[in-house]
């Protein structure tokens, strides 16, 4: 995962804090959530979208 962060130019510590905080909501088949939403590239896109909305 750290190599993915590096390739995506993502701060691994920020991403890891984000992902770990949300992991409980992605457990079990009944959650209806896709764990891939927590990958660094998706996080970077969400963060970029949030920053552009704030402006």
pLDDT of 21-38, one tens digit each? 999 998 888 888 999 999
pLDDT of residue 54: 62
The sign of the dihedral angle between the CA atoms of 1, 47, 45, 21 is positive
9: which DSSP letter?
T
pLDDT of residue 42: 95
Domain count, the chain: 1
- Percent with pLDDT over 90 in the chain: 67
Averaged pLDDT for residues 39-54: 88
Record the pTM: 0.79
- Structural domain harbouring 25: 2-54
pLDDT of residue 19: 96
Assess whether pLDDT exceeds 90 at residue 16: yes
Show the DSSP H helices in 1-55 as ranges.
2-8, 12-22, 40-54
């Amino acid at each position: 995962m750290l190599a993915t962060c590096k390739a995506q130019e993502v701060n691994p510590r920020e991403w890891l804090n984000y992902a770990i905080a949300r992991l409980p909501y992605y457990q079990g088949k009944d959650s209806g959530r896709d764990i891939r939403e927590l990958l660094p590239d998706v996080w970077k896109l969400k963060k970029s979208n949030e920053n552009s909305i704030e402006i």
